[in-house]
Amino acid sequence: MKRTAIFSLLLITVAATVWGQKPDVATKLGYPQLIIYNAKIVTMDDASFRSSPGTIVQAMAIRDKKILATGTHGEIRSLAGSQTRQVDLKGRTVLPSFIMTHEHPTDWAFQEPEALKHVLPEDNDFLIVRWLKPAPPQEQFAAFEPTFKEAVASAKPGQWILLSFHWGPEYEYATEMQNLFPKFITKARLDQLAPNHPVKVKNGFITSVINSKALEELRKVHPSLQVMEGPRTPDEIKSYEETGFGFSRPVEPDVIFRGKTALLADVLKAEMEIWASYGITTYGSSPYAFSNFQALSYLDRRGDMPARFAWGYTGPDFDVDTLRYVAGLLGHGTDHLWNIGAWATPGGTCTTLDASSKVKQSERCAFAPGSLGRETLERIIRAGGRIATLHSGGDKDIDYFLDAIEKASQDAGLTLEEVRSKRHAFDHGEGAPRPDQIPRIKNLGMILSEINTNLWETHRGASRHARNYGIEYASWVVPRKSVTAAGIMNSFEIDRPLPHKVFPFIHKGITRYNDRDQKVYGAREATDRIIQLKALTTWGSYYVLREKTLGTLEPGKFADFIVLDRDYLTIPEGDIPNIRVLMTAVDGRPVHLVPSLAREIGMQAVGPVTWRGQSLPYLVDAAKDLKDSNVGN
């Protein structure tokens, strides 16, 4: 009754105040192009810190990329014109599509095989790609040389060779692979095996080794070797030259795909389509390479972005004038590509906790007074910028980070309200904030990005924090309940090429149970499913500075939504990891639609489910759907 009254009042108010005529939305704004009805549409229009999903409606009208109206079946279907497509969802649940902060598909496009395989012709003349099969590390290292030698033998003169190890489908080999990789894979060995080819070998994640030929090619594009989130000091550059070991993120986009912007754009598009098939349509991250940014811009100009990318500047130039220009870009861009801040050196892992000498020696502070990281942070803030998309670690470095915000803001003459309006952020929540930092963070008006992945992995996150410092401090890892209770908006990230884990990771946030350790880490920081969903939708829109157009399903906002195969709000918690996304729409246009639902509603299936060769673990369900006409019905 209340919802119907509000809907009617809204129509009357809009008509009276804007047009001074009868309340006829369809006449004034045009007939809807799409109406979804007989659905459970969870609008998430409650941005409070209560466990409330906000208004739930039956139907939604969409026109020109935006939501025209929401309400009952009768109210919304009465707006239809002769050309309006009406879709009966037969009671299925509809949510706003997901916003992932600190998520970088520009990396994942070169980390998992499917997007690259889908786009890159096998007979191309510039790149040979090999992926080692998931197996225990010793087996992968045994397979490396035969696989690599075969790639070299197959390569044309001067052709790049890209090879990647595998951390395992559940990242079960992560720790061992990280430890063994630098011992087995060296620049000298790659030079010996491939003296005439540029080579990059990845450890199963972002870290890699490149050989001498690859360094030569990298220097043609980045003469100083100073790249985004790469070596910056003379010692770091020297070490990189000697070992070829590091992140080397720009190698694929800036060097291997040099002069191939359109092809790179198609690879990134395919990767974003994979993520859209799991409901994720907005990212808050750095593009990590200028060519990635150019490719995203190319897609945007072509009107071909299957998602939205809120980007953070990460260098490599941090002179005052550059940062002033970047500060001027804050919040500006297009509907699919805009700036949300800047950062430089990733935060460190140093803590205020006691631990063994070995653990303490491994800690690193990035923002201590006098450090390059601290200097750059303060320079960004004094230039009028916002710190966002920043990697972070231990609580001691967060102390230094908060000091930097306060000091640099004071130097710039900013009032407290001006500081709060920036919405400075740090990501991961890997070992911070600790409880006494939360009021200070609240006072500064910050937003935090929290990574439930750290409740699942054992090589880092809550499990490692408990081993290193004590089980009682596991609650400092992803302390979502505490920051929510303090009135601090927090968002959601995976930060791994694992989009199929989004619903399992929601469940991790609810239970904080690590099934590998068979322990609950920081039980008091568990939240319910609604708080997890707010982090993925409503609050995430505030992080990416688009709360007026994204994050909820309300009239005037972009029609970015997902259709689920079961009711997120009412199913048993243990069933949440099994949820499948049947349809994902961006601007009201499907970018993912499984064949079973497509047949039911008279539309064409789109997205990765239609691609050839669904071979990855997380595409098994999609491949099955191609054959099963009853899935989702």
Q: Which residues pair with 70 in a beta bridge?
A: 60
What pLDDT is stored for residue 390 in this prediction? 93
Half-sphere exposure of 265 (CA within 13 A, CB side): 18
Tell me which CATH homologous superfamily contains domain 343-527. Answer: Metal-dependent hydrolases (3.20.20.140)
Q: Rg for the chain (alpha carbons), in Å?
A: 25
What pLDDT is stored for residue 233 in this prediction? 80
Tell me which CATH homologous superfamily contains domain 2-99+556-627. Answer: Urease, subunit C, domain 1 (2.30.40.10)
478 closest CA partner among 589, 570, 393: 393
What pLDDT is stored for residue 523 in this prediction? 97
Which pTM was predicted?
0.93
Distance between CA atoms of residues 613 and 623, nearest Å:
8
Place of tokens 């040099």: 258
Q: How many CB atoms lie within 10 A of CB 415?
A: 9
3-state class (DSSP) for residue 23: coil
Distance between CA atoms of residues 622 and 619, nearest Å:
5
Sheet strands side by side (includes 127-131): 127-131, 160-164, 199-202, 208-210, 245-246
Q: Which residues pair with 449 in a beta bridge?
A: 491
| Contacts of range 322-325, beta carbons closer than 8 Å, 24 or more positions apart | 323/379, 323/380, 323/383, 323/385, 324/383, 324/384
Kindly state the tokens that stand for 26.
Answer: 């369809």
What pLDDT is stored for residue 184 in this prediction? 95
Sign of the alpha-carbon dihedral angle for 337, 340, 341, 346: negative
Sign of the alpha-carbon dihedral angle for 393, 399, 400, 401: positive
532 closest CA partner among 491, 486, 482, 483: 491
39: CB partners within 8 A, 6+ apart: 58, 59, 60, 89, 91, 92, 93, 94, 563
Domain with CATH 3.20.20.140 in the chain: 343-527
Query: How far, in Å, are 230, 262, 270, 304, 328 from residue 333 at the CA level?
Result: 26, 21, 22, 16, 11
627: CB partners within 8 A, 6+ apart: none
Distance between CA atoms of residues 146 and 127, nearest Å:
18
The ranges of the chain with pLDDT < 70 are: 1-29, 228-229, 612-633
503 within 8 A of 513, measured Cβ to Cβ: no
Residue-wise pLDDT tens digits, 52-63? 999 999 999 999
Domain with CATH 2.30.40.10 in the chain: 2-99+556-627
Query: What is the DSSP secondary structure assignment for residue 194, as one 8-state letter?
Result: -
